[in-house]
Structure 1
Amino acid sequence: MPSTSFDFNSGSEPRTPQAVLWDMDGTLIDTEPYWIVAEAELVAAHGGTWTEEQGLSLVGSALPNSAKILQEAGVKLPAREIIDLLSSQVVAGLRKEIPWRPGARELLAACHAAGIPQALVTMSERSIVNELLDQLPEGTFQASVTGEEVSQGKPHPEPYLTGLRLLQEVSGKELSAEKCIGFEDSVPGIASASAAGLHAVLVPNATDPGDGNWRRIDSLDGVDVEEMTRWLVQVSA
Protein backbone atom coordinates (compact mmCIF):
# COMPACT_ATOMS: atom_id res chain seq x y z
CA MET A 1 0.00 0.00 0.00
CA PRO A 2 1.11 3.63 -0.35
CA SER A 3 3.37 4.68 2.49
CA THR A 4 3.37 7.75 4.73
CA SER A 5 5.55 9.12 7.51
CA PHE A 6 5.89 12.56 9.08
CA ASP A 7 5.37 14.44 12.32
CA PHE A 8 3.10 17.37 11.57
CA ASN A 9 2.54 18.17 15.24
CA SER A 10 5.22 20.82 15.42
CA GLY A 11 2.85 23.70 16.09
CA SER A 12 4.25 25.67 13.17
CA GLU A 13 2.05 27.73 10.91
CA PRO A 14 1.05 26.29 7.53
CA ARG A 15 3.60 27.11 4.86
CA THR A 16 3.36 28.07 1.23
CA PRO A 17 3.62 25.88 -0.75
CA GLN A 18 1.52 23.60 1.41
CA ALA A 19 3.21 20.53 -0.10
CA VAL A 20 5.43 19.45 -2.98
CA LEU A 21 4.67 16.31 -4.98
CA TRP A 22 7.39 14.81 -7.14
CA ASP A 23 7.54 12.51 -10.11
CA MET A 24 10.57 10.24 -9.93
CA ASP A 25 11.75 8.88 -13.31
CA GLY A 26 13.07 11.72 -15.44
CA THR A 27 12.24 14.43 -12.90
CA LEU A 28 14.18 13.60 -9.74
CA ILE A 29 16.47 10.99 -11.24
CA ASP A 30 17.40 10.41 -14.87
CA THR A 31 16.40 6.75 -15.13
CA GLU A 32 14.77 6.95 -18.56
CA PRO A 33 17.96 5.61 -20.26
CA TYR A 34 17.82 2.60 -17.91
CA TRP A 35 14.23 1.89 -18.96
CA ILE A 36 14.89 2.30 -22.68
CA VAL A 37 17.92 -0.03 -22.61
CA ALA A 38 15.96 -2.62 -20.61
CA GLU A 39 13.08 -2.45 -23.10
CA ALA A 40 15.40 -2.77 -26.11
CA GLU A 41 17.21 -5.77 -24.63
CA LEU A 42 13.94 -7.50 -23.78
CA VAL A 43 12.50 -7.00 -27.27
CA ALA A 44 15.77 -8.14 -28.86
CA ALA A 45 15.74 -11.30 -26.73
CA HIS A 46 12.41 -12.14 -28.37
CA GLY A 47 13.68 -11.50 -31.89
CA GLY A 48 12.38 -7.98 -32.35
CA THR A 49 13.79 -4.48 -32.62
CA TRP A 50 13.13 -1.51 -30.36
CA THR A 51 14.07 2.03 -31.33
CA GLU A 52 14.86 4.97 -29.09
CA GLU A 53 11.76 6.68 -30.47
CA GLN A 54 9.62 3.77 -29.30
CA GLY A 55 11.26 3.93 -25.90
CA LEU A 56 10.62 7.65 -25.61
CA SER A 57 6.96 7.10 -26.46
CA LEU A 58 6.59 5.14 -23.20
CA VAL A 59 8.16 7.78 -20.95
CA GLY A 60 5.84 8.48 -18.03
CA SER A 61 3.38 5.74 -18.94
CA ALA A 62 1.85 3.27 -16.51
CA LEU A 63 3.84 0.04 -16.60
CA PRO A 64 0.88 -2.20 -17.59
CA ASN A 65 0.41 0.01 -20.66
CA SER A 66 4.11 -0.26 -21.47
CA ALA A 67 3.98 -4.04 -21.08
CA LYS A 68 1.11 -4.25 -23.55
CA ILE A 69 3.06 -2.26 -26.15
CA LEU A 70 6.11 -4.47 -25.62
CA GLN A 71 3.93 -7.53 -26.16
CA GLU A 72 2.76 -5.98 -29.42
CA ALA A 73 6.45 -5.54 -30.32
CA GLY A 74 6.96 -9.30 -29.99
CA VAL A 75 7.71 -9.96 -26.32
CA LYS A 76 5.98 -13.27 -25.61
CA LEU A 77 5.64 -12.95 -21.86
CA PRO A 78 2.81 -12.10 -19.46
CA ALA A 79 2.57 -8.41 -18.53
CA ARG A 80 3.53 -9.10 -14.91
CA GLU A 81 6.73 -10.85 -15.96
CA ILE A 82 7.62 -8.01 -18.35
CA ILE A 83 7.19 -5.44 -15.58
CA ASP A 84 9.29 -7.50 -13.16
CA LEU A 85 12.11 -7.96 -15.68
CA LEU A 86 12.24 -4.26 -16.57
CA SER A 87 12.05 -3.19 -12.93
CA SER A 88 14.84 -5.54 -11.86
CA GLN A 89 17.14 -4.09 -14.51
CA VAL A 90 16.38 -0.53 -13.42
CA VAL A 91 17.02 -1.50 -9.79
CA ALA A 92 20.38 -2.96 -10.82
CA GLY A 93 21.28 0.34 -12.47
CA LEU A 94 20.27 2.36 -9.42
CA ARG A 95 22.39 0.18 -7.16
CA LYS A 96 25.40 1.23 -9.21
CA GLU A 97 24.49 4.92 -9.36
CA ILE A 98 21.57 7.23 -8.56
CA PRO A 99 21.53 9.59 -11.58
CA TRP A 100 20.19 12.76 -9.94
CA ARG A 101 18.89 15.47 -12.22
CA PRO A 102 20.55 18.89 -11.74
CA GLY A 103 19.24 20.67 -8.66
CA ALA A 104 16.82 17.90 -7.68
CA ARG A 105 18.57 16.62 -4.58
CA GLU A 106 19.27 20.15 -3.37
CA LEU A 107 15.63 21.22 -3.73
CA LEU A 108 14.43 18.08 -1.97
CA ALA A 109 16.73 18.91 0.93
CA ALA A 110 15.63 22.56 0.99
CA CYS A 111 11.94 21.62 1.15
CA HIS A 112 12.68 19.09 3.88
CA ALA A 113 14.63 21.67 5.88
CA ALA A 114 11.77 24.17 5.49
CA GLY A 115 9.27 21.64 6.85
CA ILE A 116 7.31 21.39 3.60
CA PRO A 117 5.57 18.01 3.28
CA GLN A 118 6.66 16.04 0.22
CA ALA A 119 5.21 13.07 -1.63
CA LEU A 120 6.74 10.89 -4.33
CA VAL A 121 4.24 10.01 -7.07
CA THR A 122 5.58 7.60 -9.66
CA MET A 123 4.47 4.93 -12.10
CA SER A 124 7.48 2.83 -11.12
CA GLU A 125 6.94 0.07 -8.59
CA ARG A 126 7.83 -0.07 -4.91
CA SER A 127 11.02 -2.08 -5.49
CA ILE A 128 12.48 0.81 -7.50
CA VAL A 129 11.21 3.53 -5.18
CA ASN A 130 12.84 1.85 -2.19
CA GLU A 131 16.24 2.10 -3.89
CA LEU A 132 15.84 5.88 -4.02
CA LEU A 133 14.36 6.26 -0.53
CA ASP A 134 17.26 4.32 0.95
CA GLN A 135 19.63 7.02 -0.36
CA LEU A 136 17.76 9.91 1.25
CA PRO A 137 17.62 11.21 4.83
CA GLU A 138 14.77 9.64 6.74
CA GLY A 139 11.58 11.68 6.49
CA THR A 140 12.46 13.41 3.23
CA PHE A 141 9.18 12.10 1.82
CA GLN A 142 6.10 11.92 4.00
CA ALA A 143 4.17 9.84 1.46
CA SER A 144 4.83 7.83 -1.65
CA VAL A 145 2.57 6.41 -4.34
CA THR A 146 3.71 3.79 -6.84
CA GLY A 147 2.25 2.43 -10.04
CA GLU A 148 0.89 -0.80 -8.59
CA GLU A 149 -0.89 1.10 -5.80
CA VAL A 150 -3.38 2.96 -7.99
CA SER A 151 -6.11 1.63 -10.26
CA GLN A 152 -5.51 4.28 -12.94
CA GLY A 153 -2.05 5.52 -13.84
CA LYS A 154 -0.89 8.80 -15.29
CA PRO A 155 -2.26 10.77 -17.19
CA HIS A 156 -5.27 10.13 -14.93
CA PRO A 157 -5.21 12.40 -11.85
CA GLU A 158 -5.60 9.46 -9.43
CA PRO A 159 -1.87 9.13 -8.60
CA TYR A 160 -1.53 12.77 -7.53
CA LEU A 161 -4.91 12.86 -5.83
CA THR A 162 -3.79 9.80 -3.87
CA GLY A 163 -0.58 11.57 -2.89
CA LEU A 164 -2.55 14.59 -1.66
CA ARG A 165 -4.95 12.36 0.28
CA LEU A 166 -2.10 10.55 2.00
CA LEU A 167 -0.46 13.81 3.03
CA GLN A 168 -3.78 15.06 4.39
CA GLU A 169 -4.29 11.85 6.36
CA VAL A 170 -0.86 12.11 7.93
CA SER A 171 -1.16 15.82 8.70
CA GLY A 172 -4.78 15.88 9.78
CA LYS A 173 -5.05 19.09 7.77
CA GLU A 174 -6.78 19.89 4.52
CA LEU A 175 -4.46 20.69 1.63
CA SER A 176 -5.53 22.91 -1.25
CA ALA A 177 -4.28 21.36 -4.48
CA GLU A 178 -3.67 24.76 -6.07
CA LYS A 179 -1.33 25.64 -3.19
CA CYS A 180 0.70 22.47 -3.73
CA ILE A 181 3.39 22.10 -6.39
CA GLY A 182 3.77 19.06 -8.62
CA PHE A 183 7.02 18.56 -10.55
CA GLU A 184 6.90 16.47 -13.75
CA ASP A 185 8.83 15.86 -16.96
CA SER A 186 6.58 13.76 -19.23
CA VAL A 187 3.37 14.14 -21.22
CA PRO A 188 1.34 11.69 -19.07
CA GLY A 189 2.86 13.03 -15.87
CA ILE A 190 2.26 16.74 -16.38
CA ALA A 191 -1.28 15.96 -17.55
CA SER A 192 -1.88 13.98 -14.35
CA ALA A 193 -0.52 16.70 -12.05
CA SER A 194 -2.48 19.39 -13.86
CA ALA A 195 -5.71 17.37 -13.84
CA ALA A 196 -5.32 16.88 -10.08
CA GLY A 197 -5.44 20.66 -9.66
CA LEU A 198 -1.83 21.08 -8.56
CA HIS A 199 0.36 24.01 -9.49
CA ALA A 200 2.00 21.78 -12.09
CA VAL A 201 5.60 22.53 -13.07
CA LEU A 202 7.14 20.97 -16.16
CA VAL A 203 10.88 20.27 -16.19
CA PRO A 204 11.43 18.74 -19.67
CA ASN A 205 13.92 15.92 -20.01
CA ALA A 206 13.79 13.01 -22.49
CA THR A 207 10.53 14.28 -23.95
CA ASP A 208 9.03 17.75 -24.19
CA PRO A 209 5.27 18.05 -23.67
CA GLY A 210 5.39 21.68 -24.82
CA ASP A 211 3.27 24.46 -23.40
CA GLY A 212 -0.01 23.88 -21.63
CA ASN A 213 -1.88 24.47 -18.40
CA TRP A 214 1.32 24.36 -16.38
CA ARG A 215 4.42 26.33 -15.49
CA ARG A 216 7.54 25.47 -17.46
CA ILE A 217 11.14 25.76 -16.25
CA ASP A 218 14.36 24.64 -17.90
CA SER A 219 15.92 23.05 -14.83
CA LEU A 220 15.54 22.50 -11.09
CA ASP A 221 19.05 23.87 -10.64
CA GLY A 222 18.84 27.10 -8.65
CA VAL A 223 15.16 26.72 -7.72
CA ASP A 224 14.54 27.32 -4.01
CA VAL A 225 11.61 27.56 -1.60
CA GLU A 226 11.36 31.32 -2.06
CA GLU A 227 10.99 30.96 -5.81
CA MET A 228 8.29 28.30 -5.45
CA THR A 229 6.44 30.58 -3.06
CA ARG A 230 6.60 33.39 -5.62
CA TRP A 231 5.07 31.09 -8.23
CA LEU A 232 2.01 30.57 -6.05
CA VAL A 233 1.75 34.24 -5.13
CA GLN A 234 1.82 35.19 -8.81
CA VAL A 235 -1.08 32.85 -9.55
CA SER A 236 -3.21 34.04 -6.63
CA ALA A 237 -2.52 37.75 -7.23
Structure 2
Amino acid sequence: MTSPAAVLFDMDGTLVDTEPLWMAAEARLAEQHGIAWTRGDAEALVGSDLWAGAQYFIDRGVPMTPDAIVDRLVGEVLDGLGDTLPTRPGALELLAALREQGVPVALVTMSTRLLVDRVEAAFAVALGTAPFDATVAGDECTQGKPHPEPYLRGLELLGADAAGSVAIEDSRTGAASALAAGLVTIGVPHAVDVSHVPGIIHWPTLAGRTPAHLAAAIREARA
Protein backbone atom coordinates (compact mmCIF):
# COMPACT_ATOMS: atom_id res chain seq x y z
CA MET A 1 0.00 0.00 0.00
CA THR A 2 1.61 3.25 -1.14
CA SER A 3 -1.45 5.42 -0.46
CA PRO A 4 -4.18 5.27 2.18
CA ALA A 5 -7.66 4.13 1.20
CA ALA A 6 -8.99 7.49 2.38
CA VAL A 7 -7.89 10.46 4.45
CA LEU A 8 -10.19 12.37 6.78
CA PHE A 9 -8.97 15.79 7.90
CA ASP A 10 -10.10 17.91 10.78
CA MET A 11 -10.26 21.58 9.74
CA ASP A 12 -9.58 24.15 12.50
CA GLY A 13 -5.99 23.89 13.66
CA THR A 14 -5.25 20.97 11.33
CA LEU A 15 -5.69 22.39 7.82
CA VAL A 16 -6.26 26.05 8.65
CA ASP A 17 -4.81 28.21 11.42
CA THR A 18 -8.13 29.35 12.84
CA GLU A 19 -7.73 28.29 16.47
CA PRO A 20 -6.38 31.75 17.48
CA LEU A 21 -9.52 33.30 15.95
CA TRP A 22 -11.78 30.96 17.93
CA MET A 23 -9.89 31.60 21.15
CA ALA A 24 -10.03 35.36 20.69
CA ALA A 25 -13.77 35.29 19.97
CA GLU A 26 -14.40 33.16 23.06
CA ALA A 27 -12.29 35.45 25.24
CA ARG A 28 -14.23 38.51 24.02
CA LEU A 29 -17.53 36.83 24.84
CA ALA A 30 -16.35 35.92 28.33
CA GLU A 31 -14.97 39.42 28.96
CA GLN A 32 -18.22 41.05 27.85
CA HIS A 33 -20.07 39.11 30.53
CA GLY A 34 -17.50 39.60 33.27
CA ILE A 35 -16.31 35.99 33.24
CA ALA A 36 -12.72 35.22 34.19
CA TRP A 37 -11.33 33.30 31.21
CA THR A 38 -8.15 31.24 31.37
CA ARG A 39 -5.97 29.34 28.95
CA GLY A 40 -7.48 26.20 30.45
CA ASP A 41 -10.96 27.36 29.47
CA ALA A 42 -9.82 28.04 25.93
CA GLU A 43 -8.12 24.66 25.60
CA ALA A 44 -11.17 22.87 26.98
CA LEU A 45 -13.18 24.00 23.95
CA VAL A 46 -10.64 23.14 21.23
CA GLY A 47 -12.14 20.62 18.84
CA SER A 48 -15.46 20.42 20.68
CA ASP A 49 -18.97 20.49 19.32
CA LEU A 50 -19.92 24.17 19.09
CA TRP A 51 -23.20 23.70 20.94
CA ALA A 52 -21.39 21.89 23.75
CA GLY A 53 -19.08 24.88 23.83
CA ALA A 54 -22.07 27.21 23.97
CA GLN A 55 -23.40 25.30 26.96
CA TYR A 56 -20.01 25.77 28.63
CA PHE A 57 -20.54 29.54 28.37
CA ILE A 58 -24.12 29.30 29.60
CA ASP A 59 -22.98 27.28 32.61
CA ARG A 60 -20.49 30.06 33.35
CA GLY A 61 -23.30 32.61 33.34
CA VAL A 62 -23.62 33.93 29.78
CA PRO A 63 -27.34 34.84 29.35
CA MET A 64 -27.66 33.82 25.70
CA THR A 65 -29.17 30.89 23.86
CA PRO A 66 -26.85 28.20 22.47
CA ASP A 67 -27.71 29.19 18.89
CA ALA A 68 -26.99 32.85 19.59
CA ILE A 69 -23.60 32.00 21.09
CA VAL A 70 -22.65 29.77 18.16
CA ASP A 71 -23.79 32.37 15.62
CA ARG A 72 -21.75 35.07 17.33
CA LEU A 73 -18.57 33.00 17.54
CA VAL A 74 -18.84 31.74 13.96
CA GLY A 75 -19.49 35.26 12.70
CA GLU A 76 -16.40 36.60 14.44
CA VAL A 77 -14.22 33.81 13.06
CA LEU A 78 -15.54 34.45 9.55
CA ASP A 79 -14.82 38.16 9.95
CA GLY A 80 -11.33 37.35 11.18
CA LEU A 81 -10.63 35.14 8.19
CA GLY A 82 -11.66 37.75 5.66
CA ASP A 83 -10.31 36.74 2.27
CA THR A 84 -7.31 34.91 3.68
CA LEU A 85 -6.64 31.20 4.08
CA PRO A 86 -4.05 30.77 6.84
CA THR A 87 -3.04 27.18 6.18
CA ARG A 88 -1.08 25.04 8.62
CA PRO A 89 2.47 24.00 7.63
CA GLY A 90 2.45 21.21 5.06
CA ALA A 91 -1.34 21.00 4.88
CA LEU A 92 -1.78 22.41 1.39
CA GLU A 93 1.09 20.35 -0.02
CA LEU A 94 -0.23 17.10 1.48
CA LEU A 95 -3.73 17.80 0.25
CA ALA A 96 -2.40 18.53 -3.25
CA ALA A 97 -0.47 15.24 -3.28
CA LEU A 98 -3.53 13.30 -2.19
CA ARG A 99 -5.61 14.95 -4.91
CA GLU A 100 -2.95 14.14 -7.52
CA GLN A 101 -2.96 10.48 -6.52
CA GLY A 102 -6.75 10.28 -6.50
CA VAL A 103 -7.00 9.39 -2.80
CA PRO A 104 -10.53 10.05 -1.44
CA VAL A 105 -10.46 12.92 1.05
CA ALA A 106 -13.07 14.13 3.52
CA LEU A 107 -13.21 17.16 5.77
CA VAL A 108 -14.70 16.36 9.19
CA THR A 109 -15.14 19.40 11.40
CA MET A 110 -17.24 20.79 14.23
CA SER A 111 -17.35 24.16 12.47
CA THR A 112 -20.60 25.07 10.77
CA ARG A 113 -21.44 24.76 7.09
CA LEU A 114 -20.84 28.50 6.63
CA LEU A 115 -17.20 28.11 7.65
CA VAL A 116 -16.78 24.83 5.77
CA ASP A 117 -17.97 26.42 2.54
CA ARG A 118 -15.60 29.39 2.99
CA VAL A 119 -12.60 27.15 3.60
CA GLU A 120 -13.51 24.68 0.86
CA ALA A 121 -13.81 27.49 -1.69
CA ALA A 122 -10.45 28.96 -0.67
CA PHE A 123 -8.71 25.58 -0.91
CA ALA A 124 -10.28 25.00 -4.34
CA VAL A 125 -8.72 28.25 -5.56
CA ALA A 126 -5.34 27.41 -4.01
CA LEU A 127 -5.27 23.87 -5.43
CA GLY A 128 -7.02 24.52 -8.73
CA THR A 129 -9.35 21.59 -8.05
CA ALA A 130 -12.02 20.45 -5.60
CA PRO A 131 -10.16 19.81 -2.33
CA PHE A 132 -12.55 17.31 -0.79
CA ASP A 133 -14.75 14.45 -1.94
CA ALA A 134 -17.01 14.90 1.08
CA THR A 135 -17.47 17.34 3.94
CA VAL A 136 -19.08 16.88 7.35
CA ALA A 137 -20.01 20.04 9.26
CA GLY A 138 -20.77 20.26 12.96
CA ASP A 139 -24.25 21.69 12.48
CA GLU A 140 -25.13 18.65 10.38
CA CYS A 141 -24.28 16.08 13.07
CA THR A 142 -26.64 14.76 15.71
CA GLN A 143 -23.72 14.11 18.04
CA GLY A 144 -20.45 15.98 17.68
CA LYS A 145 -16.89 15.09 18.55
CA PRO A 146 -15.80 13.22 20.71
CA HIS A 147 -18.65 10.97 19.56
CA PRO A 148 -17.66 8.89 16.50
CA GLU A 149 -20.64 10.04 14.42
CA PRO A 150 -18.79 12.77 12.47
CA TYR A 151 -16.03 10.42 11.31
CA LEU A 152 -18.40 7.54 10.67
CA ARG A 153 -20.42 9.91 8.50
CA GLY A 154 -17.27 10.95 6.65
CA LEU A 155 -16.38 7.32 5.94
CA GLU A 156 -19.93 6.65 4.77
CA LEU A 157 -19.88 9.59 2.37
CA LEU A 158 -16.56 8.44 0.93
CA GLY A 159 -17.66 4.81 0.73
CA ALA A 160 -14.45 3.97 2.59
CA ASP A 161 -13.54 1.41 5.23
CA ALA A 162 -11.91 2.55 8.45
CA ALA A 163 -9.30 -0.22 8.29
CA GLY A 164 -7.31 1.33 5.45
CA SER A 165 -8.07 4.95 6.22
CA VAL A 166 -6.53 7.59 8.43
CA ALA A 167 -7.72 10.69 10.30
CA ILE A 168 -5.57 13.74 11.02
CA GLU A 169 -6.46 15.80 14.09
CA ASP A 170 -5.06 18.56 16.30
CA SER A 171 -7.24 18.12 19.40
CA ARG A 172 -7.84 15.52 22.07
CA THR A 173 -11.58 15.72 21.45
CA GLY A 174 -11.20 15.18 17.73
CA ALA A 175 -8.73 12.34 18.21
CA ALA A 176 -11.19 10.60 20.52
CA SER A 177 -13.87 10.85 17.83
CA ALA A 178 -11.63 9.43 15.12
CA LEU A 179 -10.36 6.60 17.31
CA ALA A 180 -13.91 5.69 18.32
CA ALA A 181 -14.77 5.45 14.61
CA GLY A 182 -12.00 2.85 14.22
CA LEU A 183 -9.60 5.08 12.32
CA VAL A 184 -5.85 5.15 12.57
CA THR A 185 -5.39 8.64 13.95
CA ILE A 186 -2.47 11.03 13.55
CA GLY A 187 -2.26 13.89 16.01
CA VAL A 188 -0.51 17.09 14.92
CA PRO A 189 -0.37 19.58 17.81
CA HIS A 190 -1.28 23.21 17.46
CA ALA A 191 -3.26 24.99 20.18
CA VAL A 192 -3.13 22.00 22.52
CA ASP A 193 -0.59 19.25 23.15
CA VAL A 194 -1.76 15.91 21.74
CA SER A 195 1.60 14.19 21.89
CA HIS A 196 0.60 12.01 24.84
CA VAL A 197 -2.95 11.09 23.77
CA PRO A 198 -3.23 7.28 24.04
CA GLY A 199 -3.78 5.40 20.81
CA ILE A 200 -2.71 8.04 18.31
CA ILE A 201 0.39 8.53 16.20
CA HIS A 202 2.18 11.78 16.99
CA TRP A 203 3.59 13.91 14.16
CA PRO A 204 5.05 17.29 15.14
CA THR A 205 4.00 18.76 11.77
CA LEU A 206 2.53 17.87 8.38
CA ALA A 207 5.42 19.62 6.64
CA GLY A 208 7.26 17.16 4.40
CA ARG A 209 4.65 14.44 4.83
CA THR A 210 3.34 12.54 1.81
CA PRO A 211 0.61 9.99 1.02
CA ALA A 212 3.30 7.31 1.39
CA HIS A 213 3.93 8.46 4.96
CA LEU A 214 0.21 8.13 5.70
CA ALA A 215 0.12 4.65 4.21
CA ALA A 216 3.14 3.64 6.31
CA ALA A 217 1.45 4.95 9.46
CA ILE A 218 -1.59 2.82 8.74
CA ARG A 219 0.53 -0.29 8.16
CA GLU A 220 2.42 0.23 11.37
CA ALA A 221 -0.73 0.87 13.41
CA ARG A 222 -2.50 -2.20 12.01
CA ALA A 223 0.51 -4.53 12.34
Which category describes the TM-score, using the shorter chain as reference length?
over 0.9
Question: 2:152 aligns to what?
Answer: 161
SS of the equivalent of 1:69 reads helix
State the alpha-carbon separation in 2 of the partners of residues 134 and 162 from structure 1.
Answer: 21
TM score, norm. by length of structure 2: 0.93
Amino acid at match of 2:171: S
Show the 5 A alignment for 1:208-223.
208-209=193-194, 210-223=196-209
Shift of 1:236: 4.4
1:39 aligns with 2:20: no
Runs of 4+ aligned structure 1 residues displaced above 6 Å come to none
Q: Which residue, out of 210, 213, 221, partners 1:224?
A: 210
Question: Which residue of 109, 121, 127 corresponds with 1:122?
Answer: 109
Q: Quick one: distance in 1 between partners of 2:51 and 2:219?
A: 39
Task: Give, as a single letter, the amino acid of the residue that structure 2 aligns with 1:205.
Answer: H
| Residue in 2 that maps onto 1:70 | 57
Identity of aligned pairs, percent? 44
Structure 1: give runs of 5+ residues left out of the alignment: 1-13, 169-174
1:78 CA displacement: 0.5
Tell me the residue number matched to 1:179: 164
- 1:94 maps to a residue whose letter is L
Distance (whole Å) between structure 2 residues aligned to residue 110 and residue 97 of structure 1: 22
CA distance in 1, matches of 2:37, 2:84: 25
Q: CA-to-partner distance for each residue in 1:114-153, whole Å, 9 max, x for gaps?
A: 1001000000101111111111224210100011111111
Q: Which runs of no fewer than 5 residues in structure 2 stay unpaired? A: none
Please give the per-residue CA displacement for 1:96-131, whole angstroms capped at 9, x wherever unaligned: 432211101110111011100100000010111111
1:30-109 map, 5 Å: 30-109=17-96
TM-aligned CA deviation for residue 215 of structure 1: 1.1
Give the TM-score taking structure 1 as reference length: 0.87
Give the deviation of 1:46 after TM superposition: 2.0
In the comparison of the two structures, how many residue pairs are matched? Answer: 218
- Judging by fraction of residues, say which structure has more helix: 2
